Amino acid sequence: MKEKRNSFSSSLGFVLAAAGSAVGLGNIWRFPYLAAKDGGGLFLLVYIILALTFGFTMIVSEVAIGRKTKQSALTAYGRLHRPSRWLGGLASLIPFLILPYYCVIGGWVLKYAIAFLTGSGTAAAGAGYFTGFITSTTEPVVLDLVFLAATAFIIFRGVNKGIEAISKVLMPVLLLFVIGIAVFSLTIRAHEGRSALQGLKVYLVPNLTGMHLKDVMSVVIDAMGQLFYSISVAMGIMVTYGSYFRDDHNLMKSVNQIEFFDTLVAFLAGVMIIPAVFVFLGEEGMRSSGPGLMFEALPRVFAEMGSIGNAVGCMFFVMVLLAALTSAMSLMEAVVASLIDAFGWTRSRATVFEAAVAAAMGAVICFGYNFLYFEAVLPNGSKAQILDILDYLSNNILMPLLAIGTCILIGWIIKPKTVIDEVTKNGERFGRRGLYVVMIRFIAPVLLFVLLLGSVGVFK
Ligand code: PHE
């Protein structure tokens, strides 16, 4: 039986669900880490400019494709232009590849949330704790499955009773947690002569000393890569959520709100993390923490805080867990909705199928740290296990390719007017219209191509 297509009951429901997708691990650990590395305020400035130009162009396009075709990723692109239907295939392959490892990381976050909840935060700060955990054989698989099951349950309940209802509760809670921890972080007392306010300065004030043009270029590339990842475009998600966006709601306004929410949480995550890490681990500790910031440096910071550390750590990891859950939901929905639209499956059948595949793939990914351990080297020079390979393939290769394809489809084949007409069909204003046309036809594809070259290690 073909089920009736749902739609989000309010634009707020849509905005919170889409922001739930956008706000994820990237906002919380990757953004602050890049900002600290890339000259503080300079990174922020570049990021905001890119969000208002490039980011806005990509999200508007995808949401409009979804709403116009009323199809999820797999079938939407082909509806617009039959020969471009392979883009739909790519757009559903990407979330299919990401979901399994995203849930594995969700399981890691769950592990830390439980550790801090049960008062064993100090142990979590010990050297080797993280490696010890991910190389163990059963626990990571079990926690991955728990996280995946929670995600599948929400998707099983559908667009309104599942995604929309959950996002409306979790997103405001998440924002409160982030604000709470950020305020706390600013009140941390100085330690070894370093104060929280100095840390805040490192984050906010542009630091151009010793920067050459080449370094500025790399800041721009970092900011673009981060933005691209953060707004959840080029993975079929915004098309799918857009297909549930009602025709009489204002698309442009909602897109601006999503971007605002996403950037706000990323910004506040910096306020939350950078001063705390600066006070306890110093400027060098902060810059060199890299991606290990969340699972290794932060637990150390919480341990340094003394008795209150467990509570703050617990609050932090629960908050990250919420952020990861709403992102995982959107990934699974993109795949499930594609199965429903393309093959006429029921939601329950599609959900059970996708959950089973993601569970099997997740187990293989976890075993990549023990039974199936090997060390590969990626084209960009970093060492990789199964998880990193999937991440590299989807984020660095497939996503830029899909995004370039989308720009060509809209910019040159079906023309920007198709999107503009969709956005303004109830007489709404399309602000930044000229900018949109130039972005989608010329600038965005070029930027994405540079990003792709960067990913395959051309600038190394
Ligand atoms: N946009 C999310 C973030 O910033 C990442 C994400 C990845 C979301 C995959 C959904 C799917 O962390």
CA of 22 to the centre of ligand 1 (A): 5
**Ligand 1 site, residue 368, Cβ cutoff 6 A:** no
CA–CA separation, 118 and 316 (whole Å)? 14
Tell me the CA–centroid distance for residue 19 and ligand 1, in Å: 10
pLDDT confidence of residue 1: 44
331 lines ligand 1 (CB under 6 A): yes
Q: Verify whether ligand 1 is closer than 6 Å to residue 330 (CB atom).
A: yes
Any atom of ligand 1 within 6 Å of the Cβ of 21: yes
Specify the pLDDT at position 424: 97
Q: Is 75 in the pocket of ligand 1 (CB under 6 A)?
A: no
pLDDT at 368: 96
CB atoms within 10 A of CB 189: 8
What distances in angstroms separate CA 85 from CA 60, 90, 342, 351, 361, one per listed residue? 20, 9, 12, 23, 26
Over its length of 460 residues, how does the chain's per-residue pLDDT go in tens digits? 455 689 999 999 999 999 999 999 889 988 988 888 888 889 999 999 999 999 999 999 999 999 999 999 999 999 999 999 999 999 999 999 999 999 999 999 999 999 999 988 888 988 899 999 999 999 999 999 999 999 999 999 999 999 999 999 999 999 999 999 999 999 999 999 999 999 999 899 988 888 888 888 889 888 998 999 999 999 999 999 999 999 999 999 999 999 999 999 999 999 999 999 999 988 777 766 666 778 888 898 898 888 899 999 999 999 999 999 999 999 999 999 999 999 999 999 999 999 999 999 999 999 999 999 999 998 878 889 999 999 999 998 999 999 999 999 999 999 999 999 999 999 999 999 999 999 999 999 999 999 999 888 787 6
Are the C-beta atoms of 298 and 86 separated by less than 8 Å? no
**Structure token digits, residue 65:** 């494709």
DSSP assignment of 99-117 equals HHHHHHHHHHHHHHHHHHH
118 burial via Cβ count (<10 Å: 0-12, 13-18, 19+): exposed
Distances (CA, A) of 125 to 34, 154, 300: 23, 32, 5
Q: Is 24 in the pocket of ligand 1 (CB under 6 A)?
A: yes
Q: Which residue of 232, 268, 390, 395 sits with most ligand 1 atoms within 8 Å of its CB, as the best mutation to test the pocket?
A: 232
Nearest Cα residue to atom 2 of ligand 1:
24
- Of 245, 229, 177, the closest CA to residue 16 belongs to 245
Q: Which CATH number goes with the domain that contains 384?
A: 1.20.1730
Structural domain includes residue 1: no
Q: Of 262, 269, 265, nearest to 56 (Cα)?
A: 262
Contacts of 5 (CB under 8 A, 6+ apart): 70, 243, 244
Side-chain half-sphere exposure of 107, counting CA atoms within 13 A: 24
> What is the position in ligand 1's atom list of the atom closest to the CA of 27?
4
At what angle are helices 41-50 and 213-230 packed, to 10 degrees?
50
| 322 alpha carbon – ligand 1 mean position (Å) | 12
* Ligand 1 atom nearest to CA at 324: 12
- Count CA within 13 A, CB hemisphere, residue 268: 20
Verify whether ligand 1 is closer than 6 Å to residue 240 (CB atom). no
Quote the ligand 1 centre to 231 CA distance (angstroms): 7
CA distances from 414 to 4, 82, 148, 402, 441 (A): 28, 11, 38, 16, 11
6 domain-assigned: no
This prediction's pTM = 0.95
Question: Is 249 within the bounds of a domain?
Answer: yes
CA of 273 to the centre of ligand 1 (A): 19
What total number of domains does the chain contain?
1
In short, whether 394's Cβ falls inside 6 Å of ligand 1 is no
Residues facing 413 on adjacent strands: none
Which atom from ligand 1 is nearest to the alpha carbon of 323? 12
Domain that holds residue 337: 11-455
377 within some domain? yes
3-state secondary structure of 383: strand
Q: What's the number of CA atoms in the CB half-sphere (13 Å) around residue 388?
A: 16
Nearest CA to ligand 1 atom 8: 327
- Report how far residue 270's alpha carbon sits from residue 274's, in angstroms, rounded to the nearest whole number: 5
Distance 189 CA to ligand 1 centre (A): 33
